[in-house]
C-alpha cells in the first residue's frame, strides 16, 4: 500500500471537489483547478475528506495511487492558500524591475532580459528578490525554473539567479604563486 496514497485528503470548508470519469475539478476561494482522473484509481468523497483507492494490485495501479493523491492534494492546497517560490539575484550590476506579469532584468548581458509570466502566475519584485506565486504548483515551479535558467548561479563567485533556499557549492579559484 502506498504510504502517501492511503492518507485521506482533508477538504476545508469552501472547497468543492467534482469527480468525473476523466477529470477532477477543485473549486476554492483562489480559483479553480482541474486534475486528470487516472484510470486505475478511484476517488471518493466522504464528508470533509477525499479518499483515493486503487482498483487492483497491478504495478500501474500502485504507481498511480500516490500520484493521484498528491495531484489532488496539491490542487486543494492551491485553491485554498496558493504556492510561492522565491528567487534571489546576486551579482554586481544585476538589477530586477517590474512586477505583475512581466519583469525586466539586467543580468550582465549587453541587453536587458524581459520575462513574461503565463496567465495564473504572479511575479513580485522586492529589491533583488523575485517571488513567483500562483495556485498551480507545477506552473509556479516551472516559471521559477525558467527564470533561474536565464542566469544560473556560478560556483566561483555565486553570481546569478538562485532559489532562496538553495545552497551553492563554492569552488576555490586559482591559487597564485
DSSP state for residue 23 in the 8-state scheme: E
> Domain ranges in the chain?
9-80, 83-163
pTM: 0.90
9-80 against 83-163: fold identical: yes
Distance from chain centroid for Cα 177: 48
How wide is the angle at C-alpha 103 spanned by C-alphas 112 and 108, nearest 5°?
30
Domain 9-80 has CATH 3.20.20.70: no
- Burial state string for 87-107 with b = 16 or more CB within 10 A and e = fewer than 16: bbbbbeebebebeeeebebeb
Q: List, as one string, the DSSP characters of 81-131.
A: T-EEEEEEEESTT-EEEEEBTEEEEE-SSSS-EEEEPPTTEEEEEETTEEE
Q: How many CB atoms lie within 10 A of CB 120?
A: 13
Could you read off the pLDDT tens digit of each residue along the chain, which spans 177 residues?
678 888 999 999 999 999 998 999 999 999 999 999 998 999 999 989 999 999 999 999 998 999 999 999 999 999 999 999 999 999 999 999 998 899 999 999 999 999 999 999 999 999 999 999 999 999 999 999 999 999 999 999 989 999 999 999 999 888 877
Per-residue model confidence (pLDDT) at position 174: 85
The CATH code of domain 83-163 reads 3.90.930.12
Q: How far apart are CA 155 and CA 79, in angstroms?
A: 38
Amino acid at each position: 500500500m502506498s504510504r502517501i496514497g492511503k492518507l485521506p485528503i482533508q477538504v476545508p470548508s469552501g472547497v468543492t471537489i467534482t469527480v468525473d470519469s476523466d477529470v477532477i475539478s477543485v473549486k476554492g476561494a483562489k480559483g479553480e483547478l482541474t486534475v486528470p482522473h487516472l484510470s486505475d484509481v478511484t476517488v471518493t468523497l466522504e464528508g470533509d475528506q477525499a479518499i483515493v483507492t486503487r482498483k487492483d494490485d497491478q504495478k500501474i495501479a500502485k504507481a498511480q495511487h500516490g500520484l493521484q493523491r498528491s495531484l489532488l492534494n496539491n490542487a486543494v492546497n492551491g485553491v485554498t492558500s496558493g504556492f510561492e517560490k522565491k528567487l534571489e539575484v546576486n551579482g554586481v550590476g544585476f538589477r530586477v524591475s517590474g512586477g505583475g506579469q512581466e519583469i525586466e532584468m539586467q543580468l550582465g548581458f549587453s541587453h536587458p532580459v524581459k520575462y513574461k509570466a503565463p496567465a495564473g502566475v504572479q511575479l513580485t519584485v522586492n529589491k533583488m528578490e523575485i517571488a513567483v506565486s500562483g495556485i498551480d504548483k507545477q506552473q509556479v515551479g516551472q516559471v521559477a525554473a525558467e527564470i533561474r535558467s536565464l542566469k544560473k548561479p556560478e560556483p566561483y563567485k555565486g553570481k546569478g539567479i538562485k532559489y532562496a533556499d538553495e545552497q551553492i557549492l563554492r569552488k576555490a579559484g586559482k591559487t597564485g604563486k
